[in-house]
Structure 1
Amino acid sequence: MGKYFGTDGYRGEANVNLTADSAFRVGKFLGWYYGKDKKDGEKCRIVIGKDTRRSSYMFEYAIAAGITATGADAYLLHVTTTPSVAYVARSEDFDCAVMISASHNPYYDNGLKVINGNGEKLGEDVIAEIEAYLDGETPEVPLATKDKIGRTVDFAAGRNRYIGYLISLATKSFKDKKVALDCSNGSASSIAKSVFDALGADTFVIHNEPNGTNINDNCGSTHIESLQKFVVEKGCDVGFAYDGDADRCLAVDAEGNLIDGDQIMYVCGCYMKEKGQLQDDTIVTTVMSNFGLYKALDAVGIKYEKTQVGDRFVYENMLHNGFSLGGEQSGHIIFMRHATTGDGILTSIKVMETMLAMKKSLKDLAAPFTVFPQLLKNVRVEDKEKAQKDPKVLAAVDKVTEELGSDGRILLRASGTEPLVRVMVEADTMKKCEKYVSQVIDVMKELGLVLND
């Protein structure tokens, strides 16, 4: 991770530590960097998408101004999802792309996710060059003049082509299936219902009226409770909840039970293995995946890899090894045959395909997976590295590891996007989880490492 860019782009509070000027400079750098080696008559082309936060409109114009100031052209997808931006970047021959979103964060935060022409997150080498430019460590980039100045292009058609692509991936009609969608008042509001309606579902939608400040507000994949209640009240067969930029998906079965990312990977992985579509019979997970996932996969002969937390690392492992399915418990699921990033709506389609092909409810498909109790608490700290590496904190973690033995685990990790240290414990009872999480957090508090809320 760099000074500004974390595991999921350049993120911060709008006009506090992520400003319109920052966005303008990022746009300038990208326009220059991807345009400097173009031949005469060739134009650098950069596509931009945004979520529904109020500040996303400000950042969209700032980035577009920076891009066009250096002679590149900026193509505007307007409100759309992160995976749609990645899809358009790779399928429409763009040099790179920017998604303006802070994903599951509150509305007052925002972020710049930069994606290369292959639809992948930008490499660390380019990020380092952007950061050096932002810090004034490299010369100012030249500005275009006269007819060399770039232009902005309305490219809503790109988003529509992505919708068509999603619809084309479904192998079965969703007719007679009652499906609930929680769009988190975010990017999915402009896409999800259209896809499910086109596929024949009887679609019920909640939290699809964004107003600039209600994105992720007690809704979506980080607040699943309202969808759980809604699915039961409406008698739906299944429900899907997305985050602000719709690269995550969590599901709810007909009885209102949560089906998280680990369970989705299990359900889809078993079906893909049966169909011969699971490369090397392997799923790529992260260290945050539940113990129950590994026990369930062992029982059906599916192997697994573990990466550090972040869909970037899952994708890199999948790309390097040729694996076809991977993801995170949080709902970032990558179906490598179809996408280069987590895609919440695509994940929904794949879950529906599995249910229809197997002729089983989501509850029955997930039944062999026994979830181990897990407790994760976010601790707000002043210095993530110091809190994570303090000898007394590490000693407390080692003590918990010893006491848990083979019946659980503890994980201490810093957030890639916020000033938080996450303390997670898995054990055979929730009582043990609560005890050991508190044990470590108490040590951090005694050392003065925790900020008061």
Structure 2
Amino acid sequence: MSRLFGTDGVRGLANRDVTAELALDLAVGAAHVLALRGEFSGPHPRAIVGRDPRASGEFLSAAVCAGLASAGVDVIDVGVLPTPAVAYLTGEMNADLGVMLSASHNPMQDNGIKFFDRHGYKLEDDVEDQIAAHMGEDWERPIGANVGRITSDLDAVNKYVDHIVETVNYSLSGLRVVVDCAHGAASQVGPEALRRAGAEVIVIGAEPDGLNINYEYGATAPRRMAAATVGHMAHAGVSFDGDADRCIASDEEGNVVDGDKIMGMLALAHAEAGTLKNNTLVTTVMSNLGLKLAMNERNIDTVQTAVGDRYVLEEMRRNGFSVGGEQSGHVLLSDYSTTGDGVLTALHLLSRLAEKRVKMSELASDIPSLPQTMINVKDVDKSRATADEGLAAAVRRAEEQLGATGRVLLRPSGTEPVVRVMVEAATQEQADEICQALADDVKAFLAL
């Protein structure tokens, strides 16, 4: 039986896979696990609940709040805020649990539910499984004064923005920056944080209506941001995804600067400042080989994990590392945050630009990339991706063709119904050709 929780909470088509009933049951299960673990003090445990602006988040958030309160948890509803803001506020406001309603970079029709512990970290797999196990069980419902209460905190946004701006060492005064908010959770806090840090901000993609989140804007569609950076003669552009735990950037010439380059630049900044703990950058298997080579040249170690920012963070916490992330734009700066934070990443990237007083294109050139192609193959049985012998043979043939000049990575997505095929090669033409051939193999071998 497959796990209810994926690599980033429970996610699926809203009101079909992720329903109000499921949200309520998950919330009750989480409350019961909290009680069993004894992880709260006082008469009632407390939870922070936030969401991104997609329409389904309205009823799902209401269901989560209702489930928690019905199980005796006091709820502080912080409304529309980025995922990392909910994580930060959970720890800052001494809550026992944080809940975020978001499907991150997924299209509007999807939604998800993710939980944070009292310190703002994503829950361990075993705790998630305990929550799932307690769903639907018989329980004694509190009555009278023992039920939870639901309140709002209108100042939560300022608490979060104040925190992330205070982490920046260099003023962004003099920098003109395009900010693409994906019509998502950072539509208010993203521009506000950069302005408070001193930047002149040109905002796009910041008119959420509940239906347009991630649509043709944001970190998964960065070309609009890159074009606006050139059009406004800005020094740089930054683009967030729907829940703002990712950041993708652009240089002044409109070249997209991905998560590999961003975390490479920030690792160099920390190394120069003497704050790169254990002199190590944590990446995933999806990171471009060019990043590892650039770090090697500067005597910085790299450690690879499975794909997923939670696995990067687990490695960082286990070994005391301070900088890590994913090519997709999840960047983790553990000195300041317990999870990937797009707005925080943007602030530190632009602070590095202000410090070095060079163009973003020059800064990014320190982190070269080998030619790379990735194709997301839809409408296939991703559960068989790692077990099909015919597909495994096709991957081996591709690896033999590439030799020492490249690599192949084929993996089922943990958050979407797709199989990802990634190829790095000596030339872009070769990467494109081999990646497309493997994508065709995936369709053939894993057809539904």
Letter in 2 for 1:16: R
Whole-angstrom CA distance in 2 between matches of 1:270 and 1:39: 40
Identify the residue that residue 87 of structure 2 maps to in structure 1: 86
Where in structure 2 are the equivalents of 1:90-239 lying within 5 Å?
90-134=91-135, 136=136, 139-239=137-237
Alignment check: 8 A CA contact 2:34 2:40 kept? no
Letter in 2 for 1:214: N
Whole-angstrom CA distance in 1 between matches of 2:380 and 2:132: 22
Whole-angstrom CA distance in 1 between matches of 2:402 and 2:42: 65
Whole-angstrom CA distance in 1 between matches of 2:142 and 2:366: 61
Whole-angstrom CA distance in 1 between matches of 2:393 and 2:138: 48
1:267 to 1:79, Cα distance in 2 relative to 1, 3 A? same
Deviation digits for residues 343-384 of structure 1 (CA, Å, limit 9, x no counterpart): 001101111111111222211111132211111111124431
Identify the residue that residue 450 of structure 1 maps to in structure 2: 447
Say how many residue pairs are matched: 447
Alignment check: 8 A CA contact 1:2 1:131 kept? no
Whole-angstrom CA distance in 2 between matches of 1:450 and 1:356: 51
Secondary structure of the residue that 1:388 maps to in structure 2?
Answer: coil
Q: How big is the shift at 1:52?
A: 0.6
Q: How big is the shift at 1:228?
A: 0.8
Identify the residue that residue 8 of structure 1 maps to in structure 2: 8
Whole-angstrom CA distance in 1 between matches of 2:332 and 2:39: 33
Identify the residue that residue 252 of structure 1 maps to in structure 2: 250
Q: How big is the shift at 1:38?
A: 7.3
Whole-angstrom CA distance in 1 between matches of 2:363 and 2:139: 55
Letter in 1 for 2:115: V
Secondary structure of the residue that 2:239 maps to in structure 1?
Answer: strand
Alignment check: 8 A CA contact 1:29 1:141 kept? no
Alignment check: 8 A CA contact 2:32 2:134 kept? no
Identity %: 38
Deviates more, 1:90-99 or 1:360-369: 360-369
Letter in 2 for 1:295: L
Deviates more, 1:250-259 or 1:374-383: 374-383
Q: How big is the shift at 1:198?
A: 1.4
Whole-angstrom CA distance in 2 between matches of 1:402 and 1:344: 38
Is 1:19 matched up with 2:19? Answer: yes
Deviates more, 1:265-274 or 1:31-40: 31-40
Alignment check: 8 A CA contact 1:11 1:112 kept? yes
Whole-angstrom CA distance in 1 between matches of 2:368 and 2:18: 42
| Structure 2 unaligned regions, length at least 5 | none
Identify the residue that residue 402 of structure 1 maps to in structure 2: 400
Q: 1:329 aligns with which of 319, 327, 335?
A: 327
Deviates more, 1:28-37 or 1:166-175: 28-37
Letter in 1 for 2:84: P
Give the TM-score taking structure 2 as reference length: 0.97
CA RMSD of superposed structures (Å): 1.5
Letter in 1 for 2:294: A
Whole-angstrom CA distance in 2 between matches of 1:314 and 1:349: 21
Alignment check: 8 A CA contact 1:380 1:450 kept? no
Letter in 1 for 2:108: Y
Alignment check: 8 A CA contact 2:40 2:96 kept? no
Letter in 2 for 1:351: L
Alignment check: 8 A CA contact 1:249 1:331 kept? yes
| Structure 1 unaligned regions, length at least 5 | none
Q: How big is the shift at 1:3?
A: 2.3
Alignment check: 8 A CA contact 1:388 1:421 kept? no
Deviation digits for residues 280-331 of structure 1 (CA, Å, limit 9, x no counterpart): 2210000000011111111111110000100001001111111110000000
Whole-angstrom CA distance in 2 between matches of 1:411 and 1:142: 49
Secondary structure of the residue that 2:226 maps to in structure 1?
Answer: helix
